[in-house]
Structure 1
Amino acid sequence: MGRDCFFDRDIIIDKEGNVYTILTNYNPPGYVFAYLKYVYTGKGLWKGYERIFKKYGVHNLIKINQMFSFESCYDASFPIVLLSNISRHLKPEERLQEILKKSANDNIIYTLINFIEEYVRVNNVGVTGSILLDNYHNNSDIDIIIYGRKSALDFIESFDGFEKDYEWIIEANENYDIDFANLLYDNRRRGIYKGMKISVLFADDKPWRYCNDVCKKVGKVRFRAHISGDYEALIYPSIAYVLGNNEYKVSKIISYEGIFSSVLFGERQAEIEGLLMRCEKENVVIVGDRDVRGFIRPL
């Protein structure tokens, strides 16, 4: 899957040695959407890197001290890195190929290789997170990323799931200030395999058009709806469609909080709280705005 563009979950390193994770497949002119994850201090668990973004969620991301850009198309600010300040671009699929060509040298790599060989029957796959950066430690999670619609759906339909990770549920409830994380959990995407925690992530295998629609904020809403999501619900940001009529004439739900992705996949009734956006083509609700955090609760 040779490529020159930036995809979700790629890692970039700036000229000062700071490490960022790419957020989406959007490729704006002159910069990329990416959040600061590590700075090098010579201390800590991650081989001298200190983790800046310690807990996920937009409410934690906006506290990071990095450059943000107001995007008029989306009426919101995003964390960015200038192309002129990027010194290295690390790609998950290239890193995995490097690993597979070598013998397993520790338990983390041995477990990764075993899982890939046993369960991931697709070609478009990579490894991200600390293994991509090569600063993992003995207790690091394994983050696998699968690219493309067919590969993602083939995996979801064929994999029976991991051993349940109860700690994820507890941590998610605390971090997002909710009490229903058990209803959001999908053991096909997160769990324990051979004693180690693994996450399976999904990303599109094509670049996206920047500023495809222009939207303006309207305000906070909460409503119940019948929603349906396919492959677009698995990637980031996650998208599901509203079936039938609703009081706000919303046709689409877009979540910038990855925790709700599994709820958007499939078809169900749900209670949604988020930011109503009036776009040129349709009304949408954003979950994960800096001012309206929102949630998606399955009913």
Structure 2
Amino acid sequence: MTRLMRDPHFPYLPRDFIETRHGLIFAVVSYQPQDEKVGCFLRYIFEGNIWKKVDTEKANTLLKQSYPQYCYQSKQFEASFHAVSVSDIIKHYRPEERLRSVLQHEPTDEIEQKLHKLIPILVRCGVNCNLLGLTGSMLINQQRKNSDIDLVVYGREAFLQTRQAVQKALAESIIDKLSIALMEDNYNRRAGELSFDEFSWHENRKFNKAAIDGTKFDIGMVCLANELEHD
């Protein structure tokens, strides 16, 4: 079966995490190097002997004050984000490896139990597990009881197949549509111009989010190398 192949010269992909020697974990956001650095955004800091998630405002403030070398202005994207030199990276968290690791062992908590139940459902509905990964809090083993399951799908074709699998599993009532409470949480996080009803309608027709035993899961696509447009 098809497996994800990473570029050995630059193995970093969006939705990976990278950890620096300063006790910072960044989520990778770019496919190519940014001035020979990894384009990313600060997501977790090691504080009080635990990893703490930080929002955008706190992330920017912390880096400007304490680690200005990680603040980055991209000319290519005309946007500000963060960038880390490869030499500063002490650990590279890869979603596909983390998913395999979790599935190879007995679940250690309720969220992992639900993941162990979800993946076989998706596979039975036509998903290639070798093109799936696990990101978000579960990528660094920082999930809590109310955490979401954040899946990565590598490649456009695999992403379409996974959405079709979610649609099929929903039709067979093996998994559930998002409850009003889960949809409201999703709506509040994304707070746009749409009304809640409009937002719910659009979200439900994408088949990239659903629930398993009361826990929300979502799927996000990462392009393969041959799917990227190069300038």
TM-score category (smaller protein): 0.7 to 0.9
Equivalent residues in 2 for 1:46-85, closer than 5 Å: 48-53=50-55, 63=60, 65-66=62-63, 67-85=70-88
CA offset at residue 169 of structure 1? 3.9
CA offset at residue 61 of structure 1? 8.6
Q: Which residue of 1 aligns with 2:39?
A: 33
Distance 1:183 1:24, change over 3 A: farther
Q: Which residue of 2 aligns with 1:149?
A: 156
Aligned-partner Cα distance in 1 for 2:219–2:29 = 16
Contact 2:43 2:59 in 1 (8 A): no
2:221 paired residue among 199, 202, 216? 202
Distance 1:173 1:101, change over 3 A: closer
Q: Which residue of 2 aligns with 1:167?
A: 181
CA offset at residue 102 of structure 1? 1.2
Equivalent residues in 2 for 1:108-123, closer than 5 Å: 108-120=111-123, 121-122=127-128, 123=130
Contact 2:164 2:207 in 1 (8 A): no
Contact 1:26 1:208 in 2 (8 A): no
Aligned-partner Cα distance in 2 for 1:211–1:196 = 38
What is the number of residues matched between the two proteins? 203
Q: Which residue of 2 aligns with 1:185?
A: 203
Q: Which residue of 1 aligns with 2:66?
A: none
Contact 2:14 2:222 in 1 (8 A): yes
CA offset at residue 26 of structure 1? 2.5
Counterpart of 1:40 in structure 2: which amino acid?
A: F
Aligned-partner Cα distance in 2 for 1:134–1:42 = 17
Distance 1:26 1:38, change over 3 A: same
Percent sequence identity over aligned pairs: 22
CA offset at residue 64 of structure 1? 5.0
5+ residue gaps, structure 1, are: 55-59, 213-299
Alignment deviations for residues 213-246 of structure 1 (CA, whole Å, 9 cap, x no partner):
xxxxxxxxxxxxxxxxxxxxxxxxxxxxxxxxxx
CA offset at residue 10 of structure 1? 0.2
Distance 1:111 1:64, change over 3 A: farther
* Most deviating of 75-84 and 89-98: 75-84
Counterpart of 2:25 in structure 1: which amino acid?
A: V
CA offset at residue 62 of structure 1? 8.1
5+ residue gaps, structure 2, are: 64-69, 171-175
1:42 paired residue among 33, 48, 53? 48
Alignment deviations for residues 6-55 of structure 1 (CA, whole Å, 9 cap, x no partner):
11100100111111111132323421111111111136xxxx2111127x
Aligned-partner Cα distance in 1 for 2:76–2:181 = 38
TM-score scaled by length of structure 1 = 0.60
TM-score scaled by length of structure 2 = 0.76
Distance 1:64 1:129, change over 3 A: farther
1:14 paired residue among 9, 20, 26? 20
Aligned-partner Cα distance in 2 for 1:208–1:64 = 35
Contact 1:13 1:19 in 2 (8 A): yes
Distance 1:63 1:144, change over 3 A: same
Counterpart of 1:206 in structure 2: which amino acid?
A: A
Q: What is the CA RMSD across the aligned residues, in angstroms?
A: 2.6
Distance 1:171 1:98, change over 3 A: closer
Higher strand share: 1
Counterpart of 1:11 in structure 2: which amino acid?
A: F
Counterpart of 1:170 in structure 2: which amino acid?
A: E
